[in-house]
Chain A
Amino acid sequence: MENNTSQSRRRFIFGTALTLGGIVSGFAFSNKALAELIVFKDEKKILGFAPSVWVEITKDNFVVVTVARSEIGQGIKTTFAMIVAEELDADWSKVIAVNSQGDPKYGDQSTGGSTSVRMFWTNLRQAGAQARQMMINAAAQIWGISPDDCYTENSYVYERNGTRKLAYGELIETAMNLPVPPLNSVKLKSSSEFKILGKSQKNLEEPNYVTGKTIYSFDFRYPGMKYAVLLRCPYIGGSVKSFDATDALKQNGVIGVYQIEEGIAVVADNSWAALKGREALKVQWNEGPNANLNTEQIYETFRSLIVNTGQLPSKTVKEIDVRFEVPFLAHSTMEPMCAFANFKDGKCEIFAGTQNPQYAREDVARALKISKDNVTVNVLNSGGGFGRRLNSDYITIAAKISKASGLPILFFYTKADDIKFDYYRPASVHAIKAGIDSNGKPTGMIHIIASQGGVWPVDPPYNVGGYNYELKSSAFGIREGAWRSVENTQNIFAIESAIDELAYLAGKDPFEFRLEITTDQKLKNVLSKVAQNANWGSSLPSGWGRGIAAFVGYGAYITHVVEVYVSNEGFLNVKKIYAVVDPGFPINPENIRNQIQGAAIDALSTALYAEITIEGGQVQQSGFHNYRWLRMDEIPEFDIEILRTSDNPSGMGEVGFPSVTPALCNAIFNATGIRIRKLPISRTPLTSVEKQLTKDNYFEVNAFPNPFESSVKIEITPRSVLNKKLDVEIYDYLGKKVIEPKFKYDSAKYFADVNFEILPPSVYYVVVSFGAERFSFPIMKVK
């Protein structure tokens, strides 16, 4: 429904619409004309010679690889270009990677499940080899010799027994008139012949990243384009009751206000005007059925679904029966969701960072009630994905606003919108019962998962003596979606933590125990190697701990050892992370290193801090200030070893995530004796005042309320008169000083009201020093 649009303030689209078929990847062009040609390439226009949809060779001897999986930071454009260039014997310095459109001719384009390389490895190699064969055939025809008497190198065909050579670019016209050999008929290289693959190659996108030239969704521009934001009901499952746009429309630059199914859209000349217009909207909400919903109620329901964990075999002599809890998580990509849509004459053109352009195309067609043949989805680079962009909500919203307004629209979520209206990593409660026999051998594992229904089970990577699982669910209408490594995030935390508990129960070393309970040689290998790299078994100073965990998935094997130090005050210091990954064949080792390190920091950040909470039916988090991420001074040292054990590559974007969290929790146990069974970790204090003040108890300490929400009153009562100065400081979970409260002294007490409003929920430590004495006590901010 269009609401009171000022027709006179509308601008019309002028000129012919641009069609951008492929957006060029990072490349320092020596040939400016070519660069422009490709940036504004029409998908239907052929740049040069294109034997397949994957590769084109231009007159200027450039090789253009069309990448049909989305670049979300996993380096797929460089990886795919490497695969094609290898078999084509292309000059790597003249290879360009472009994003494709969403089109079934490319096969499955869903960038999820770390499937890209495994699904396209053979196909892309064949495409490269096919193009190479045609270059040879063309040169052979020109020279009047047999193709067998030709060879290729660096985008040239050479005469084997002569001095003639021709650049690929010089051969394309001849090649165009030759038959195209079938993909499966061309000969592929053996891995020993690889010149590009298996060696670290620089990221093709980097020159554009570092100059700000990459076109993300937010950066897309179009003649006559307007900017739009959406005001959505903050209540989960709620809706708009009524609204008044009078003030919004008075804002300078606001063009129109439109109600769509998802909320009220404000369209303006620029982003700021759209935001100001949104702020000026007056809205009444239908709070809907969840107005009283809160996260604790959800956990409580999940807990109550697990009634009976069943029986282990009778040979069981010892058992654990424990619960693990993991929260909802928002993806919180660096670039919030954003999409361009232009609905005109019954057709809709989209430009957006998306992990699934084919689904987006169908979703837009459905939303606009038009045929998908009338929808074009052009993929742009994404400022992070992590699974978020498998959903096309933001794309269909852009399309609806374009339709409602009749304008080309760049629609964006603010950071707060992005967190509050995400498809969350599901929260779940896990019950694990597992036992050992009199020899310390596992007798079985029973795993019950309670969730909204979105968490399915994962098998342990070990022989646990029989594995049984059961799923329980209760839905609360909270949107859920894929999150880097999906169900492994919850399952591997629970399973690898439980395996660690079993090892201690059996009185065995956690590394040795894991070796004993697997027969998988590849797993044994990565376990042994990581233990060796981490000098497992060597003694550690007091307060230090080590933890180990493994993950098998996406065609790969990985193990992590995490080293932590927990200070007397309780500060957690993650010192070092060792990883050994067996990808089979490592296509681009440096990119794998980046992925493994990035995934580890992702896992550490979420394990330590991240939690989406709901109060009164509304998501409470709104930005990086209350949904924290680790920063440079908080990351550990890394030791990453990348193996090469076969000629088959595997998925590297997600594999580095799951085993970090349990390895970290196992290390905290090793250091402190405290088992972390609820994430995020920063909700569990790693010390207590009782632990530190046993003998010479000079003080009584009090904090109330505790746990607290925005402020806390701290009271310190000395048992006798102090003759030294009392210092009190407040530190965060990792030991960074966050507040130096001013204490007052009255009635034999030191006290202060401390405001925590701007700090995220977590355990904090109040550190009290007087002279040489020093102790801490934990306080807990819950919202």
Chain B
Amino acid sequence: MEINVNKKNYTVDVDPDMPLLWVLRDILNLTGTKYGCGIGVCKSCTVLIEGVPEQSCIVPVSYAEGKSITTIEGISENGDHPLQKAWIELSVSQCGYCQPGQIVRAYYLLSKNPKPTVEDINKEMSEHICRCGTYDKIRKAILLASKE
């Protein structure tokens, strides 16, 4: 099976039912995408498929075949996307575990809405759970990044 992750083609020989998450993590060794709940609730595993956020823990790899996938590793080459810079500037993270998923969704939000309001951010980002409670900082970081 051919999949395209972060603009790179990979041939993977896996069960077509295998969730994309495990293909990314265990087969391609792209471990930035996190396992959180495995049932699509916490959104730690968020990736973009054709530019749209999907829960890689419940999406079978066969669904992603031939489509373009973007993971946290593909957001920027050197960790210098405005969102990543804003996260660093504001020291958003605590344990950091949910943040790759948060950043991938924030990236999607800014791609369709470059100047989001607080309400826009709340609506989009309330999909995600952060057990450390960094929500306020995430909101501020997205606003900061949207100014760049």
A residues engaging B (CB < 8 A)?
Answer: 28, 71-75, 200, 202-203, 205-216, 218-219, 221, 227, 252-253, 269-273, 276, 332-336, 381-385, 412, 414-416, 590-591, 594-595, 597-602, 605, 623-625, 629-635, 638
| Contact present for A383 and B96 (CB under 8 Å) | yes
| Contact present for A334 and B44 (CB under 8 Å) | yes
Report, nearest first, the 7 A-B pairs whose CB atoms are least far apart: A212-B32, A601-B133, A383-B97, A73-B95, A209-B96, A73-B94, A219-B31
| Contact present for B26 and A271 (CB under 8 Å) | yes
A601 to B134 CA separation, bound complex (whole angstroms): 9
Task: Find residues 54-93 in chain B having any chain A CB closer than 8 Å to their own CB.
Answer: 71-73, 75-76, 79, 83-84, 87-89, 91-93
For B136, give its contact among A73, A623, A625, A635 (CB under 8 Å). A635
A218-B31, A219-B31, A624-B41 known; A334 and B79 CB under 8 Å?
Answer: no
| Contact present for A335 and B38 (CB under 8 Å) | no
| Contact present for A203 and B39 (CB under 8 Å) | no
List residues of chain A with CB within 8 A of the CB of B27: 270
| Contact present for A212 and B26 (CB under 8 Å) | no
| Contact present for B132 and A334 (CB under 8 Å) | yes
For A632, give its contact among B42, B83, B91, B128 (CB under 8 Å). B128
List residues of chain A with CB within 8 A of the CB of B133: 597-602, 605, 630, 635
- Check: B139 CB closer than 8 A to any chain A CB: yes
A648 CB to closest chain B CB (Å) equals 24
Q: Interface digits, B4-26 against A, CB 8 Å rule (1 contact, 0 not)?
A: 00000000001100110010011
For B38, give its contact among A28, A415, A629 (CB under 8 Å). A415
| Contact present for B125 and A336 (CB under 8 Å) | no
A631 to B42 CA separation, bound complex (whole angstroms): 10
Give chain A's interface secondary structure class: loop
| Contact present for B129 and A624 (CB under 8 Å) | yes
| Contact present for A598 and B134 (CB under 8 Å) | yes
For A272, give its contact among B19, B75, B132 (CB under 8 Å). B19
A600 to B44 CA separation, bound complex (whole angstroms): 22
Could you write out 21 A-B pairs with CB less than 8 Å apart?
Answer: A73-B96, A74-B94, A75-B94, A210-B100, A211-B73, A211-B76, A212-B30, A218-B25, A218-B35, A270-B14, A271-B35, A272-B19, A333-B131, A334-B130, A382-B95, A597-B133, A623-B38, A624-B41, A631-B127, A632-B135, A638-B136
| Contact present for B84 and A335 (CB under 8 Å) | no
| Contact present for B41 and A28 (CB under 8 Å) | no
- Check: B48 CB closer than 8 A to any chain A CB: no
Task: Find residues 89-127 in chain B having any chain A CB closer than 8 Å to their own CB.
Answer: 89, 91-100, 103, 121-123, 125-127
List residues of chain A with CB within 8 A of the CB of B131: 332-334, 384, 602, 629
A272 to B98 CA separation, bound complex (whole angstroms): 21
A416 to B136 CA separation, bound complex (whole angstroms): 28
| Contact present for A206 and B88 (CB under 8 Å) | yes
The interface centre, meaning the residue of A206, A210, A602 with most chain B CB atoms within 10 A of its CB, is: A210
List residues of chain B with CB within 8 A of the CB of A74: 94
A383 CB to closest chain B CB (Å) equals 3
The interface centre, meaning the residue of B36, B71, B89, B134 with most chain A CB atoms within 10 A of its CB, is: B36
Chain A minimum-CB-distance residue to B123: A633
Chain A minimum-CB-distance residue to B26: A270
B2 CB to closest chain A CB (Å) equals 19
For B36, give its contact among A252, A415, A416, A590 (CB under 8 Å). A415
Chain B minimum-CB-distance residue to A202: B91
For A28, give its contact among B76, B79, B100, B122 (CB under 8 Å). B79
The interface centre, meaning the residue of B19, B79, B83, B131 with most chain A CB atoms within 10 A of its CB, is: B131
Q: Known pairs A28-B79, A203-B88. 7 more at Cβ < 8 A? A: A202-B91, A207-B84, A212-B33, A218-B35, A334-B97, A632-B121, A632-B138
- Check: B1 CB closer than 8 A to any chain A CB: no
List residues of chain B with CB within 8 A of the CB of A629: 129, 131
> On chain B, which size bracket covers the interface?
35 or more
For A624, give its contact among B42, B93, B94 (CB under 8 Å). B42
The interface centre, meaning the residue of A211, A214, A270, A383 with most chain B CB atoms within 10 A of its CB, is: A211
Chain A minimum-CB-distance residue to B139: A632
For B91, give its contact among A333, A591, A634, A635 (CB under 8 Å). A591
List residues of chain B with CB within 8 A of the CB of A381: 95-96
B residues engaging A (CB < 8 A)?
Answer: 14-15, 18-19, 22, 25-27, 29-39, 41-42, 44, 71-73, 75-76, 79, 83-84, 87-89, 91-100, 103, 121-123, 125-139
For A211, give its contact among B15, B22, B84 (CB under 8 Å). B84
A270 to B20 CA separation, bound complex (whole angstroms): 12
| Contact present for A271 and B22 (CB under 8 Å) | yes
A590-B91, A623-B41 known; A632 and B125 CB under 8 Å?
Answer: yes
A638 to B125 CA separation, bound complex (whole angstroms): 19
| Contact present for B22 and A270 (CB under 8 Å) | yes
List residues of chain B with CB within 8 A of the CB of A605: 133
The interface centre, meaning the residue of A205, A269, A381 with most chain B CB atoms within 10 A of its CB, is: A205
A332-B131, A334-B129 known; A212 and B37 CB under 8 Å?
Answer: no
A214 to B88 CA separation, bound complex (whole angstroms): 14
A534 CB to closest chain B CB (Å) equals 18
For B35, give its contact among A207, A336, A416 (CB under 8 Å). A336
A211-B79, A625-B39, A631-B135 known; A203 and B128 CB under 8 Å?
Answer: no
Chain B minimum-CB-distance residue to A599: B133
| Contact present for A210 and B97 (CB under 8 Å) | no
List residues of chain B with CB within 8 A of the CB of A412: 35
| Contact present for B88 and A414 (CB under 8 Å) | no
A631 to B129 CA separation, bound complex (whole angstroms): 6
| Contact present for A212 and B73 (CB under 8 Å) | yes
A335 to B130 CA separation, bound complex (whole angstroms): 11
| Contact present for A210 and B93 (CB under 8 Å) | yes
A359 CB to closest chain B CB (Å) equals 21
A221 to B27 CA separation, bound complex (whole angstroms): 11
A414 to B38 CA separation, bound complex (whole angstroms): 7
| Contact present for B93 and A203 (CB under 8 Å) | yes
A382 to B75 CA separation, bound complex (whole angstroms): 23
Chain A minimum-CB-distance residue to B141: A210
List residues of chain A with CB within 8 A of the CB of B126: 631-634
| Contact present for B88 and A202 (CB under 8 Å) | yes
| Contact present for B84 and A210 (CB under 8 Å) | yes
List residues of chain B with CB within 8 A of the CB of A253: 15
Chain B minimum-CB-distance residue to A414: B38
| Contact present for B37 and A218 (CB under 8 Å) | no
List residues of chain A with CB within 8 A of the CB of B139: 632
List residues of chain B with CB within 8 A of the CB of A73: 93-96, 132
A200 to B89 CA separation, bound complex (whole angstroms): 11
For B26, give its contact among A72, A215, A227 (CB under 8 Å). A227
List residues of chain B with CB within 8 A of the CB of A213: 32
Chain A minimum-CB-distance residue to B121: A632
Chain B minimum-CB-distance residue to A626: B41
A276 to B31 CA separation, bound complex (whole angstroms): 21
List residues of chain B with CB within 8 A of the CB of A208: 96
A518 to B38 CA separation, bound complex (whole angstroms): 50
List residues of chain B with CB within 8 A of the CB of A212: 30-34, 71-73, 100
B108 CB to closest chain A CB (Å) equals 15
| Contact present for B97 and A205 (CB under 8 Å) | no
A638 to B19 CA separation, bound complex (whole angstroms): 39
List residues of chain B with CB within 8 A of the CB of A72: 95
A207 to B72 CA separation, bound complex (whole angstroms): 12
For B97, give its contact among A335, A624, A635 (CB under 8 Å). A335
List residues of chain A with CB within 8 A of the CB of B37: 415, 623-624
